[in-house]
Structure 1
Amino acid sequence: MRNVTRVTLGRWIPAETVLARLGDRGDVVWFDAGVEGDARLASPRDGHPRVSYLGWGDEILLASAKEPGSLEAAWRRVSDDAAQRAQDHEPLGWWGWVGYGAGADLLAPGESAWAQALGDPAHPDLALLAVDRALVFDHDAGLVELVVDGDHTEWVAELLAWWSSDSEGMPPAPGTSRPRVAEWADSDERYLDLIANCQAAIHEGDAFVMCLTTSVSVRGVDEDDLVLYGRLRRSSPAPRACFLRLGGVSLLGSSPETFLTVDPSGVVTSAPIKGTRPRDADPRVDAGRVGELRTNPKERAENLMIVDLMRNDLSRVCVPGGVEVTALFEVHSYEHVHQLVSTLSGRLRPGLTGVDAVRATFPPGSMTGAPKHSVVRLLSAWETAPRGVYSGAVGRFGLDGSVDLSVVIRSIVLDVSTGTATIGVGGGITASSVPLEELAETRTKAAALLAVVGADTRVPDLETPLPVTDSGAGSPRSGSLDRPCDPRRDESLI
């Protein structure tokens, strides 16, 4: 492997300006610290990363659950690269997303029914860019470093020439979008039926908690993907924000949730989120919501079950007895919501890589429920369509052996060819869930994202109960896993 070239650039130009001025350069990935850190020596928000990354590459790795052997070959490629542990290549590596459908190959290897039920019918279930050119923005130092692997003389010369000559500052803040219609995959009535299905399964002992999801689509979105992301990063800042343009699909993310990190020494961390409350402009009301969320028995029980699930998953790859819960039931506050977060950590067993950790824990437990096998099987039969990128993970697999992945929530998936923006939303269902409150939570989570693309942000009125109709929610969709579930045989949570 070649040694990398590193150049500290002469001045600070924010990542958004770089992308806006350089225009369409093909596939690109941006892991963003937020608009507050755009100016030189400006501090990102508390809890946001102190370093941002922009990455380019010429090779893209695509894989689909519906293509036998495709995902396994992709994992092997990424794992082989990570095993080299090229410390001088930080932060270069494979950057992109692993969609929820990739879980089929990990939960039930070789079972075509799982692949057909979970696989994304429209896009790859895994899309990773081999990033060999990156800009690293150190917000504390106010420095930008160019990192290049290989012979990219012309590309580097063009970038450096532009960097030294550009005199323009930040791009103007993006304006508002024209009004559009939001099309929900499930009506309010059907979503209430699905909640009833989940609670019946819990009462029958087939599950403890189930992360039920739905989606909303907006057609005719013709704005540039970077313009939309500029609007999102200003209206909904989040510590795991990202912009990806890979293979004709753009992921605009404002996720607050860390799925999994692995440092080069093998230390693994995960920070699942379960429990959400909307912010309020009145400080007293807002503080009351924090206290209620922190002490709410239903939210604490749901959070604890996912912590137990993640602890069990991590124990499959970590040093025996070494997985610890380092923070339990912390409330993290963001622009629009408060969320209940717990943190776990451990150390990989000798001979294992960060890819092994991802394969042992994917899909994220906070997006499935517990027991994982049983819940994924049931939900695949009930949910209207495969989840796609939503509920998966997005981030980096470093050539130095590191992994840094967040959960794909609070995100917009834009199919550039069709102009369709899709937003996935959901929530954890327990025996004590109040159905109308769960319905309202999904609408609350979608509202800020729908506003970005100019669509309806309605939240149901909890004072007016909706009729619950027999919409056939219990009938499995085509290709789903409709065989009976026996949680006693599930080995993902013991």
Structure 2
Amino acid sequence: MRTSIYKIIEEPIALKQQLVGWGQQFREITFLDSNSFSDEYSNFDCVLAVDAFTSIKTDYHNAFEDLKQYQQTAKDWLFGYLAYDLKNDVEHLESNKFDGLDFPDLFFFQPKKIFLLKGNQLEIQYLKMCDDEIEEDFESIINFAKQDTITSNTIAVQQRISKQSYLDKVVKLLEHIHQGDVYEANFCMEFFAQNAKIDPLEKFLKLNEISQAPFTVFFKNNKQFLLSASPERYLKKEKEILISQPIKGTSKRFADPVEDEISKNNLEQDPKERAENIMITDLVRNDLSHTAQKATVEVKELCGIYSFLQVHQMISTITSKMDPKYAAVDALRTTFPMGSMTGAPKYAAMRIIEKLEETKRGLYSGAVGYFTPDGDFDFNVVIRGILYNEANEYVSFSVGSAITSLSVPEKEYEECLLKAKAMLEVLQQ
């Protein structure tokens, strides 16, 4: 049983930093921040979950079935992630690339302590604990003062694939497209640093400050960290409704309002970007149909343009009504990995990009989120994020773009560098 109390918060924005700072004392942390982004599907402005009561950690073998059993047995809040390489559990695929991070393929935990902020109301839910402990912790949170930061060393970020190698690989992908093997493939490359010592909280706060994305995450599992300023929702379940919001299409922001508006309008009208988005929208429609009631898959918005601090993005929204014979985890298993990070057709795209990419994706292009006690869930897409293994002092982030028949390799490379800008800026400060 959970004990719940409610607090009225005078300064919700300030409370967010106090929550994530106070949470650093725990071995397991999931902090989710919408950054006040207006979204009709959002339930909370901010969530903090800490301190595992139970947990599940596994590689990809039988991972979705193990997660289903864990979720149906716990019937409680669960927070965690699905790494990209769970693709190997749903398809006959493998991942034998270099992995400097060494994160498990799947990790979820049942938190002892949860904080749910909406507007100026904070709901605090504790598992098997007394009201006095809640009050003591709340006092510690509102009086929290930032601790001394860990001294970061100079980080020499390297690019895993050279520019020329990237261009050559995109040309190979275009050959596959022209041969009809795939229509679209999301090709990614890693930036990394070895012997790196960073303060994860400090880097997260800087990344969030310059990005302010709606699906921002600070995640910690002991020595493993994710700091993500993701703008993209992968999949949400609310009762019988599933909502997916793939992003395909990116353009630069400009300080000059006229230039910025031109960039936004160019994105909206760009035939290549629209083709990318529509192909993935169609893929998501097909994915959702696997668990949907008949004739309930619907495109709510096609190629909508949304502006974030760093970039303009093209986003579509697709919904369905789940057939009651399927469990919550079935909706994840039949749609994972998300089409925006793979390509179309999905299986063929994943096979090809596995051959061309130099590193194992791991948590990058996976998903972080939560299950509620009644089996609803909400998951983001892990992009625009820094991954850090404190134990082996390895820092990594990856970026990618969708390659279609209209792609110009040089422009795709420039798009990757645009997406890398925020993470580079944060790491090299």
Q: Which residue of 1 aligns with 2:56?
A: 61
Deviation at 1:177, TM superposition (A): 6.7
Q: 2:174 aligns with which of 199, 202, 212?
A: 199
Which residue in the other structure is 1:104 paired with? 88
Q: What is the TM-score with the length of structure 2 in the denominator?
A: 0.92
Partner of residue 77, structure 2? 93
Give the secondary-structure state (helix, strand or coil) at the position aligned to 1:58: strand
> Structure 1 residue aligned with 2:121, among 143, 148, 162?
143
1:152 maps to which residue?
129
Q: Deviation string for 1:317-338 (max 9, x for gaps)? A: 1012110001001111000000
**Does the Cα contact within 8 Å between 2:183 and 2:344 map onto a contact in 1?**
yes
CA contact (8 A) 2:241 2:321 kept: yes
SS at match of 1:300: helix
Which residue of structure 1 lines up, in the alignment, with residue 2 of structure 2? 4
**Any conservation in 1 of the 2:232–2:246 contact (CA below 8 Å)?**
yes
Any idea what SS the aligned residue of 1:115 has?
Answer: coil
- Residues 356-392 of structure 1: per-residue CA shift (max 9 Å, x gap): 1111100000000000111101111111011110111
Do structure 1's residue 418 and structure 2's residue 392 form an aligned pair?
yes
| Residues 286, 165 of structure 1: alpha-carbon distance in 2 compared, 3 angstrom cutoff | closer
- SS of 1:332's partner is strand
Tell me whether 17-26 or 360-369 shows the greater mean CA deviation.
17-26
Q: Is the 8 A contact 1:81 1:399 kept in 2?
A: no
Q: Deviations over 1:111-159 (max 9, x none)?
A: xxx2344796722111111124201112x2x12121123x234xx6445
Deviation at 1:342, TM superposition (A): 0.6
Identify which of 114, 127, 144 aligns with 2:107: 127
CA contact under 8 A between 1:16 and 1:171: conserved in structure 2? no
Counterpart of 1:346, as a letter, is: S
The percentage of aligned residue pairs carrying the same residue is 29
Change (3 A) 1:195 1:352: same
Q: Which residue of 1 aligns with 2:68?
A: 76
User: Which structure 2 residue ranges, 5 or more long, are not aligned?
Assistant: none
- Contact between 1:53 and 1:135, CA under 8 Å: does it hold in 2? yes
Seen in structure 2, the aligned counterparts of structure 1 residues 238 and 167 have a Cα distance that, compared at 3 Å, is closer
Change (3 A) 1:398 1:46: closer
Name the amino acid aligned to 1:115.
E
Structure 1 residue aligned with 2:367 = 393
SS at match of 1:303: helix
* 1:192-248 deviation per Cα after TM superposition (whole angstroms, max 9, x unaligned): 111011100000110000100111012343232111111111111100001110142
1:198 counterpart SS class = helix
Give the TM-score normalised by the residue count of structure 1.
0.80
Note the C-alpha offset of 1:47: 4.3
Alignment partner, residue 445 of structure 1: 419
Asked if structure 1 preserves the Cα contact closer than 8 Å seen for 2:150 and 2:198, the reply is no
Distance 1:251 1:198 in 2: 30
Tell me how far apart the structure 2 counterparts of residues 152 and 308 of structure 1 sit (CA, whole Å): 47
Shift of 1:441: 0.8
Are 1:4 and 1:148, in contact at CA under 8 Å, matched by a contact in 2? yes
Q: Is the alpha carbon distance of 1:433 and 1:397 closer, same or farther for their aligned partners in structure 2, counting shifts above 3 Å?
A: same
- Given that residues 328 and 375 in structure 2 are in contact (C-alpha distance below 8 angstroms), is that contact kept between their aligned partners in structure 1? yes
Cα distance in 1 between the residues matched to 2:392 and 2:206? 21
- Classify the secondary structure of the residue corresponding to 1:202: helix
What does the per-residue CA deviation read over 1:138-190, in whole Å, with 9 as the maximum and x for residues that have no partner?
A: 2x2x12121123x234xx64452243367647749989976521111101011
Corresponding residue of 1:238:
213
Structure 2 residue aligned with 1:255, among 230, 250, 253?
A: 230
Counterpart of 2:323 in structure 1 is: 349
SS in 2 for 1:391: coil
Aligned equivalent of 1:19: 20
Residue 115 of structure 1 corresponds to: 94
Native 8 Å contact 1:129 1:246 kept in 2:
no
**Residues of 1 paired with 2:97 and 2:70: CA distance?**
22
Secondary structure of the residue aligned to 1:181 is coil
Cα distance in structure 1, aligned partners of 2:407 and 2:329: 35
Counterpart for residue 367 of structure 1: 341
- Confirm or deny: 8 A CA contact 2:389 2:395 kept in the other structure: yes
Q: How many residues align?
A: 422
Name the residue aligned to 1:464: none
State the SS of the aligned residue for 2:136: helix
Match of 1:51 in 2: 45
CA distance in 2, matches of 1:448, 1:395: 22
Q: Residues 163 and 75 (structure 1 numbering): CA distance in 2 closer, same or farther, change over 3 Å?
A: closer
Unaligned runs of 5+ in 1: 35-43, 85-91, 109-113, 456-494
Distance in 2 (alpha carbons) for counterparts of 1:276 and 1:322: 29
Structure 1 contact 231–452 (Cα < 8 Å) conserved: yes
Shift of 1:355: 1.1
Equivalent residue, structure 2, for 1:321: 295
Q: How far apart are residue 46 of structure 1 and its match?
A: 3.6
CA RMSD of aligned residues (A): 2.5
User: Structure 1: how far apart are the matches of 2:183 and 2:248?
Assistant: 14
How many angstroms apart in 1 are the aligned matches of 2:170 and 2:141?
A: 54
- Contact conserved, 1:101 with 1:118, CA < 8 A, in 2? no
Q: Is the counterpart of residue 30 in structure 1 residue 31 in structure 2?
A: yes
